[in-house]
């Protein structure tokens, strides 16, 4: 039973990290494009 909960927790954690990475990556891309546009 404990193993099942641990597995679910790991999956949720991975999904959260993946989503956060995508959000941060998009923000960094937008900042890079804006900086290039201003130059």
pLDDT tens track for 1-39: 679 999 999 999 999 999 999 998 888 888 787 777 776
As separate numbers, helices (DSSP H) first and strands (DSSP E) second, the chain gives: 1, 0
Lookup: tokens for 27: 């923000």
CA torsion, ordered 17, 26, 28, 34, to nearest 10 deg: -170
pLDDT at 36: 77
pTM of the model: 0.59
pLDDT at 26: 84
């Amino acid at each position: 039973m404990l193993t099942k909960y641990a597995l679910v927790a790991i999956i949720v954690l991975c999904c959260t990290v993946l989503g956060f990475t995508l959000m941060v990556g998009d923000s960094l891309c937008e900042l890079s494009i804006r900086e290039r546009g201003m130059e």
